[in-house]
């Protein structure tokens, strides 16, 4: 099954929001500063006009001012950026339910095979520009790794499509440091041992040799060099947790009563998991005593499940092990996290259609 994965990253995000709120800043070299706007602060981001002078994120303001004395410097306003980020993410979720937000201004999105992924990407870029007055770069590829790398090659206001089958050819001329995780230690070893500079050079190193040098990461590097990646989109639904809790009218001292409530809550949690098409690996018990001290204890299973009996068994065991029976219980709760999505219906249909 060929996937259609979009990687989207907003251009000079904080600076673009500042220009949106104050159009007089548009087209000017602008630095958004973290901490002190005077010399002790750091550059959070710079407009592309300021980047021409060598200013970049994480640079000290002193140096940034030396490189670009005419830059306008404004303090970062994180709350405002979060609001604009949320609008972007909501727009993406309108376009597909399979959205993975990776940072404040970056997300992956998967488009179902029966839709035109490139047309969807164009529409997203247009809507972000017209409805939210923000600028972004989007890459479309068959997996997350290639779409992420591709996106960075065409910034700002860029758009790029890597057709399925062209991944390795596209990556080959790029520096090996473009592979996420290939930091300076890895790069230095690759250079010293095999004279690797580009991703294409890396693809020519035998996999066994990479394995011997880097272990599991060696296999990752070999796959990455060939543009291979099958990591799934992790949606927000999968990162949340599901729980229920009960505050008692009167503090409870009897095990039977606690277990009765616990069983009921386990059933509720299992029902919600099933309804959301999720499975969980971790079961959590929460206890609050009469003096308001609260504790949570959890157990993590080998495999994800959505089974009421399993949840109940572990929740009861946690209660058995951790409830200090000398103390009355004011609140009891049970929850699950470490959630994974059961393959959605459209994905199953696609696999069967292949």
3-state secondary structure of 216: helix
Residue nearer to Mg ion on the CB measure, 107 or 140: 107
Taking the complex as a whole, the smallest distance from the CB of residue 13 to Mg ion amounts, in Å, to 5
105 lines the binding site for Mg ion (CB under 5 A)? yes
E-strand stretches of 181-327: 242-252, 278-289, 294-305
3-state secondary structure of 202: helix
Mark the segment that binds Mg ion (CB under 5 A) among 4-12, 168-176, 214-222, 247-255: 4-12
33 lines the binding site for ligand DCP (CB under 6 A)? no
Residue corresponding to tokens 């604009």? 84
44 contacts 16 by C-beta, under 8 angstroms: no
- Single out the residue of 3, 5, 7, 9 in contact with Mg ion (rule: CB under 5 A): 9
- The interface with ligand DCP within residues 141-200 (CB under 6 A) comprises 155-156
18 lines the binding site for Mg ion (CB under 5 A)? no
**Contact partner at residue 261 from ligand DCP, Mg ion, none, CB < 5 to 8 Å by partner kind:** none
Q: What's the burial of 237, exposed, middle or buried (CB within 10 Å: 0-12/13-18/19+)?
A: middle
Q: How far apart are CA 228 and CA 213, in angstroms?
A: 20
Taking the complex as a whole, the smallest distance from the CB of residue 48 to ligand DCP amounts, in Å, to 7
323 lines the binding site for ligand DCP (CB under 6 A)? no
Residue nearer to ligand DCP on the CB measure, 140 or 222: 140
Taking the complex as a whole, the smallest distance from the CB of residue 44 to ligand DCP amounts, in Å, to 3
**Long-range pairs, 180-189, Cβ under 8 A, ≥24:** 180/145, 180/148, 180/149, 181/217, 181/220, 182/221, 182/224, 186/214, 186/217, 186/221, 189/213, 189/214
Taking the complex as a whole, the smallest distance from the CB of residue 7 to ligand DCP amounts, in Å, to 11
**Contact partner at residue 108 from ligand DCP, Mg ion, none, CB < 5 to 8 Å by partner kind:** none
Q: Which residues are catalytic?
A: 106
202 contacts 175 by C-beta, under 8 angstroms: no
**What single DSSP character describes residue 178?**
G
Write out the residues near Mg ion by the rule CB under 5 A: 9-10, 13, 105
Write out the residues near ligand DCP by the rule CB under 6 A: 9-14, 34, 44-45, 57-58, 104-106, 155-156
């Amino acid at each position: 099954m060929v996937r259609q994965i979009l990687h989207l990253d907003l251009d000079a995000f904080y600076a673009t929001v500042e220009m949106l709120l104050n159009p007089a800043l548009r087209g000017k070299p602008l630095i958004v500063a973290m901490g002190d706007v005077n010399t002790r602060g750091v550059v959070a981001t710079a407009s592309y006009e300021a980047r021409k002078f060598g200013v970049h994120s994480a640079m000290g303001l002193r140096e940034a001012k030396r490189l670009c004395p005419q830059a306008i410097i404004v303090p970062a306003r994180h709350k405002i950026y979060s609001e604009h980020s949320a609008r972007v993410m909501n727009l993406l979720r309108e376009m597909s339910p399979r959205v993975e937000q990776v940072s404040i201004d970056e997300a992956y999105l998967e488009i179902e095979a029966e839709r035109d992924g490139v047309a969807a990407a164009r529409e997203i870029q247009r809507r972000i520009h017209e409805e939210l007055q923000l600028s972004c770069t989007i890459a479309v590829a068959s997996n997350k790794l290639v779409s992420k790398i591709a996106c960075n090659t065409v910034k700002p206001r860029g758009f790029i499509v890597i057709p399925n089958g062209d991944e390795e050819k596209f990556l080959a001329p790029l520096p090996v440091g473009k592979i996420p995780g290939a930091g300076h230690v890895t790069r230095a070893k690759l250079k010293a041992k095999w004279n690797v500079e580009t991703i294409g050079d890396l693809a020519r190193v035998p996999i066994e040799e990479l394995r011997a040098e880097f272990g599991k990461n060696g296999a990752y590097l070999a796959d990455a060099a060939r543009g291979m990646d099958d990591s799934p989109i992790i949606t927000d639904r999968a990162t949340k947790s599901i729980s229920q809790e009960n505050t008692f009218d009167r503090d409870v001292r009897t095990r039977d009563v606690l277990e009765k409530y616990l069983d009921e809550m386990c059933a509720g949690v299992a029902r919600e998991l099933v309804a959301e098409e999720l499975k969980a690996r971790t079961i959590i018990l929460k206890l609050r005593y009469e003096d308001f001290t609260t504790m949570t204890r959890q157990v993590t299973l080998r495999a994800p499940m959505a089974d009421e009996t399993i949840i109940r068994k572990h929740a009861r065991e946690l209660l058995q092990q951790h409830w200090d029976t000398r103390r009355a219980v004011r609140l009891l709760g049970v929850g699950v996290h470490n959630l994974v999505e059961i393959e959605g219906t459209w994905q199953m249909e696609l696999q069967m259609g292949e």
